[in-house]
A = this chain, B = another copy of it.
């Protein structure tokens, strides 16, 4: 939209161009895949800006200087991440100052916050920390709410450079809370309004999702659909761009409703929701308690459930029963069952769920038993075989799954499937 009516207008175009520069030898050496640039690009794009170029350079003043020259000539602003740490290989501040012809001056605000933080953590105060308090003359500092390295913004040749730390969660937080408001202030035209929704799905391959919803995405491009696999989930991001807020939201709502209906069986959450968080709120709302008995998932289900603040209110206990002895001792699984059907079997899964439910005196018992691999396969039970059972007042259900994955992914997929079963059960209750 916004591009059509400014076609050919270079200045006009440039005002919407935001560049991205990520800095680090670990990136140009290919030892690490850059997590910041794609995240930042997606975020800016969804807000209606253009990203004409993404650059990655190593920790050398020359490369950083070249990038700054090239980017300032084609962008209204540039988000820079990386190289703000306390060690000598972190040279971003010096390099940016040099490229922009500024001196480095100590910022007392940063210095004070660094001192406070190092003391709070009981760390020693080092020369490196003192270096982190230096910023280019004329720059405005950007506080770091989650880490030690502060960022800063600096105008150079009509281009605003917003320099942030490279640690992804710090960069993401500071882009969302501080960089984007700064960009909004300097963008003379309000970019197209962008309404977007992330639909989180599990249990349907990306290709099948795409095929099913294809007809529902308007040809005119007023709503775009992007697929982001986040194992074991697939996130479908719907983005509606329109100069007017109301239209963007209405277009999004229309497509989201149609798409949600089609994806319903595998669609479990939206935007920032997590599966464990959704299960947690359902348990709280229905005032039900839970206990988990894990064999092949090895504690992962309990770990995810306890990531939710307040989970102690509904999770009574978890048992990681890796040995047959512990299955008998903690879950009261009869040795006869283990002997006849084996530890990886439907009868064992059922007894585990019922056993933990009785032992813990809770409303719901959830269990997993399987073969995560790489070894342990037996005739008829290949690696990836998992039985998941849920015991409740209305009886016990059990699901047999086969995940063609490596050990960690079998655990992750099994834990996810178990939480989905729990969610479905809770939704089915009055």
Chain A residues within 8 Å of B, Cβ to Cβ: 25-35, 37-45, 50-58, 60, 63, 66-67, 70, 74, 85-89, 120-124, 126-129, 167, 205-208, 210-211, 214, 224-229, 231, 237, 292, 294, 297-303, 305-307, 309-312, 315-323, 325-326, 329-330, 359-361, 372-375, 402, 404, 407-408, 411
* Given A89-B226, A207-B129, A322-B311, also A33-B30 (CB < 8 A): no
Q: Which residues of B contact A206 (CB under 8 A)?
A: 85-87, 128
Do residues A322 and B330 form an inter-chain contact, with CB atoms below 8 A? no
Given contacts A167-B231, A299-B302, A307-B407, 9 further A-B contacts (CB under 8 A): A30-B51, A31-B226, A31-B237, A85-B206, A87-B210, A128-B206, A294-B302, A309-B407, A319-B319
Minimum Cβ distance to chain B for residue A282 (Å): 18
User: In the bound complex, do residue A127 and residue B317 qualify as a contact, i.e. CB atoms below 8 Å apart?
Assistant: no
* Contact B89 A225, beta carbon cutoff 8 Å: yes
Across the interface, which residues of B come within 8 angstroms of A27, CB to CB?
A: 38, 41, 54
Chain B residue with Cβ nearest A226:
B31
- With A303-B298, A317-B321, A317-B330 as known contacts, state yes or no: A226 contacts B25, CB within 8 Å: yes
For A329, what are the chain B residues with a Cβ–Cβ distance below 8 Å?
A: 359
Q: Determine if B309 and A299 form an interchain contact, defined as CB atoms under 8 angstroms apart.
A: no
7 nearest CB pairs, A to B: A298-B306, A30-B42, A318-B320, A299-B302, A30-B41, A299-B299, A128-B207
CB of A306 to closest CB in B, whole Å: 3
In contact, A51 and B29 (Cβ under 8 angstroms): yes
- Find out whether the CB atom of A43 lies under 8 angstroms from the CB atom of B66: no
A123-B205, A320-B302 as given contacts; A26 in contact with B237, CB under 8 Å:
yes
Knowing A53-B56, A58-B52 touch, does A39 contact B30 (C-beta < 8 A)? yes
- Residues of chain B within 8 A (CB-CB) of A30 are 37-45, 51
B208 close to A126 (CB less than 8 A): yes
